């Protein structure tokens, strides 16, 4: 199961360097995780100040 970034995302970018696979990119209104490559490690969730990344 992959993580997804919810609408709570404030585009601070703290999740990007936290991802060991470098699969988070900036979307139009929020950051986006490549779900096909996500290993569900939760590093992005731990780095996010607003709790936007959640298990899918």
Please give the structure tokens belonging to residue 32: 């986006």
Sign of CA dihedral 56, 6, 3, 31: positive
Q: What is the pLDDT at residue 5?
A: 98
User: How do residues 3-44 score in pLDDT, each as one tens digit?
Assistant: 999 999 999 999 999 999 999 999 999 999 999 999 999 999
Q: What is the pLDDT at residue 55?
A: 95
The residue ranges of every structural domain in the chain are 3-55
Other beta carbons within 10 Å of 41: 13
Residue 14, CA distances (Å) to 1, 27 in order: 22, 14
Does residue 1 surpass a pLDDT of 90?
A: no
Q: Note if the pTM is more than 0.85.
A: yes
Fold of 3-55: Alpha-Beta Plaits (3.30.70)
């Amino acid at each position: 199961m992959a993580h997804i970034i919810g609408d709570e995302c404030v585009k601070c970018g703290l999740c990007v360097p936290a991802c060991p696979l470098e699969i988070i990119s900036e979307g139009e209104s929020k950051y986006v995780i490549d779900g096909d490559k996500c290993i569900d490690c939760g590093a992005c969730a731990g780095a996010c100040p607003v709790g936007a990344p959640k298990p899918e």
